[in-house]
A = this chain, B = another copy of it.
């Protein structure tokens, strides 16, 4: 038995971790540079983007030996340090060497515009302003944002008994380029649980697959996507099931926050494909729905145009037929095995569902017993506006 208790103030709750965000002049006023530091060495697990052009910080990470420990991460927003070649990695080394506190195997993580070298001197100068003994999760969470409109920060106390508990906390950024492949997101998770390195690796991968990898904002995949888990083991407490559940909840909650904050997005929609012939079919169809421009614009228009749902399922080339397909908005069935149920009353009900901030579109294929849920958002004018002039 265990209890999961949500707490405010994110990373600040976890003993031995310090963090702070400041403005280094990459953005005009907002925070754009942060550190996360541990006063002892941590085990680390990481999941990175599958993009062929991994950004310099990811390549820098991979230069360390396989099972290294670390105590320091520097993070900047506004510049992705991607497509910058060997120079991009040298810049990271130079910046990390200039940090005025002893670090072991320090890391860097970046997000922002692709193709430009980091403003090295600006960053080195700004690092002098850090107070490395500060606990300031709030400023840290804000410093890693790009087009996000709110900070994403979370902490759980996991109680195994009255006197036994550990903490797990995270900050994260998302917004555009979110795709079932973890795009344009950074997520830093810290814990004092006494978790073995093996469990860190397998549980993190599993949690990412079931959270960040199920969401889509625009179907694009970035060069910088990173999820890191740092464990300092200070609590000396651990229970695998409890940690697994807490990590699952934490990543799921963050992924829904990312989606809610998708560029110009107003709605979070769960696309549940049921009774597919295979697991692959279920995933393929659900992902096609969450990525379809025509479905996304219909969501924005709050138009229960189920023909687009059907057409997208058909175009995904999964095993499906008109005679077995059932489509519902929450529990309002609009198409039932060959019959359009959309009379005036049903249309009114379906439209009402679509006016909600979050709802479910269920496609029952009736071809087998596999299911998959992908999460998506609507496509608004605002998305086009944000992305038409992102660099400026």
Contacts and interface: CB of A to CB of B under 8 A. Distances in A.
Contact of A297 (B115, B306, B383): B383
A126 interface: no
B115 A390 contact: no
Interface stretch (A151-159, A235-243, A268-276, A311-319): A311-319
A50 B317 contact: yes
A384 interface: yes
Nearest to A386: B297
B384 A115 contact: no
Interface in A294-342: 294, 297-298, 300-301, 303, 305-308, 310-318, 320-323, 335, 338-340, 342
A219 B305 CA distance: 18
A181 interface: yes
Contacts of A209: none
A116 interface: yes
Contact of A384 (B177, B379, B390): B379
> Copies of this chain, how many?
2
B181 A315 contact: yes
Contacts of A181: 315
A223 interface: yes
A293 interface: yes
Interface stretch (A36-44, A79-87, A161-169, A185-193): A79-87
25 contacts: A50-B317, A51-B315, A53-B311, A53-B322, A80-B307, A82-B311, A84-B340, A85-B323, A114-B307, A115-B340, A116-B340, A117-B340, A176-B294, A219-B292, A219-B293, A220-B308, A223-B311, A293-B387, A297-B388, A301-B387, A301-B389, A303-B390, A305-B391, A381-B381, A381-B384
